[in-house]
A = this chain, B = another copy of it.
Amino acid sequence: MAAEDGAVRSVTRALDLLGHFTEQRMVWPVAELARVSGLPKTTVVRLVATLSSTGMLWERPDGQVTVGAGLMRWARLARAAWELPFEVRAVLEALAASSRETVNLYVRQGFARVCVAQAEGPQTLRHVVRIGDEMPLWAGAASKILLGDAPADVVDAMVERAGEGLREQIAEAAAEKFAVSHGERESGASGVAAPVVDKKGRVVAALALGGPTTRFTEDRVPLFRTALADAAAEVSRLGLPAVV
Contacts and interface: CB of A to CB of B under 8 A. Distances in A.
Contact of A67 (B60, B69, B77, B200): B77
A62 B243 CA distance: 9
A69 B75 CA distance: 10
A107 B69 contact: yes
A98 interface: no
Interface stretch (A127-135, A169-177, A185-193, A213-221): A127-135
Contact of A4 (B43, B109, B110): B43
Contact of A114 (B4, B11, B23, B69): B69
Contact of A109 (B22, B58, B116): B58
B62 A202 contact: yes
Copies in the complex: 2
B132 A75 contact: yes
Contacts of A116: 69, 72
A69 B7 contact: no
Interface stretch (A49-57, A86-94, A226-234): A49-57
Nearest to A68: B109
A73 B60 CA distance: 21
B78 A67 contact: yes
Contact of A77 (B12, B51, B71): B71
A6 interface: yes
A11 B76 contact: no
Given A7-B10, A7-B43, A68-B109, 20 more contacts: A4-B43, A4-B46, A8-B46, A8-B50, A11-B47, A15-B54, A23-B77, A26-B81, A53-B111, A58-B81, A58-B109, A60-B204, A61-B202, A62-B200, A67-B77, A70-B134, A71-B77, A71-B132, A73-B133, A75-B79
